[in-house]
Amino acid sequence: MLVLWIGASAFIIYITHWVYHWRNPRCNGKLPPGSMGFPFLGETLQFFKSNTTNDVPPFVKERMERYGPVFKTSIVGQPAILSADTDLNHFVFLQEGQLFQSWYPDTFTEIFGRQNLSSLHGFMYKYLKNMVLSLFGPESLKKMLPEVERTACRRLQQWSIQETVELKEATAAMIFDLTAKKLISYDEENATQKLRENFVAFIKGLISFPLNIPGAAYHKCLQGRKNAMKMLKNLLKERRAMPRKSPSDFFDFVLEELQKEGTILTEKIALDLMFVLLFASFETTSLALTFAVKFLSDNTSVLKKLREEHETILRNRENTDSGLTWKEYKSMTYTFQFINETVRLANIAPVIFRKALREIQFKGYTIPAGWAVMVCPPAVHLNPTKYKDPLTFNPSRWEGVEINGATKNFMAFGGGMRFCVGADFSKVQMAVFLHCLVTKYKWEPIKGGNILRTPGLQFPDGFHISLMEIN
């Protein structure tokens, strides 16, 4: 009996000691304030708790009020520092590859692939980034502009003869089809297997609680990835069996790289790259476009000003039947202000992950080596000291502000050397779609439009509109 009592006491002391050290991690200096939550689980449940606000996520806002703009936490078993501090955010992006590196929780890398673009570093990352810029860089986009316009005009015309259209789904399909054609010559209408269906399943569980059991959103997400990757592998096999005489899409370019002597590109990296590009190119942009049209529906003065800019472009053309030129695209001053304001308030990326490569001192606090750093764009974009009335949709606040990359107060497309390689492509897609929409159509919201953040942005009921041509 005494032995049992001693054993039980020792176990309780051990557990108490372990829990204490979990909640009070060792550090050579002073950790930021905050809570590590429960052992293993940390504050994961609170982080993934859904909300319907356009404001700073409750998880972050409550802790900012309690601890300040920099605090410690633990998400999916990883100790982390969450930063709403503009100086720390800027420092993290500036020191990419030196003091910090891109990092995502194991659940994310399981979804996107362990050889995906976000998980690679150094020369390999730069090599892949240059490959992607060959498709999405400015010179390629100039050539792609007419096709983007034709696609937008054709889809809008199709939607206008329907009773209603669910905008999020419709724009996602439009962008996916165009991008898949450029990447892998994929034709959704004539394909025997529907590639995008797998991405729809993938998206539903992308930013959800990482519970990998049948029926859970995360499990469905993994299944969607598995099916999509299988299709891409089969396509790669077909291309290798019947190579084309001259490259016609990005996949051909990738195949050429794979066949070069001494190449550093592997089949695994190539397939993960194609998967990420297919996903990133359409999901975030369709969310932003849906958010944009919702704002236009609620702000008639903004719609009037946007329409005036695009009608002026049409009036100034020598040939009224010609399509958009790159010069006209670059002249869309108010449109770019509108896009900036849309993505500032949409906050599609709730956090940007990095990891400290070694112990770092910052403003009296210590960030231990190996800890994650979670940069929080919403806390920056909705800071009232930087943006007057931050929850008000006001594109004119960007008047006279030139933004070609990220700044301390604007990081909708990331920052530093990992600034989103598809940012220009997204802006082209949005600007051209808006041009076609406001010059030729009017619309009426029918239902939906409410948002849900889990913590990523969703439209759980879609955004249904009735689209009509302007006479």
Q: Please state the separation of Cα 262 from the chain's center in Å.
A: 33
Q: Is 192 left (phi over 0), alpha (psi -120 to 50) or beta?
A: alpha
Reported pTM? 0.88
Q: Comparing C-alpha atoms, which of 193, 176, 173, 189 is closest to residue 238? A: 193
How high is the pLDDT of residue 17?
43
What's the pLDDT tens digit per position in 6-62? 655 554 554 554 454 455 677 788 999 999 988 878 898 899 898 999 999 999 999
87: number of CA atoms within 13 Å, CB side? 4
pLDDT of residue 10: 54
Please give the Cα distance from 314 to 320 (Å, whole number).
7
Nearest-10 crossing angle of helices 267-298, 217-241: 120
- Residue ranges of the binding site: 420
**Structure token digits, residue 359:** 């112990």
Q: In the numeric block, which tokens belong to residue 198?
A: 């797998």
Cα separation, 458 vs 455, whole angstroms = 9
- Binding-site positions for heme read 420
Quick check: 352 and 375 in contact, CB under 8 A?
Answer: yes
- State how beta strands 78-83 and 70-75 pair: antiparallel
- Looking at domain 1-114+355-381, its CATH class is alpha beta
- Report percent pLDDT > 70 for the chain: 85
Domain ranges in the chain are: 1-114+355-381
8 Å CB contact between 252 and 239: yes
State pLDDT tens for residues 77-117: 889 999 999 999 999 999 988 899 888 766 666 666 565 55
Backbone angles phi, psi at 465, to 5 degrees: -130, 160
Phi–psi pair at 356, nearest 5 degrees: -75, 125
Pairwise CA distance, residues 287 & 169, whole Å:
9
Q: Where are the beta strands (DSSP E) in 187-290?
A: none
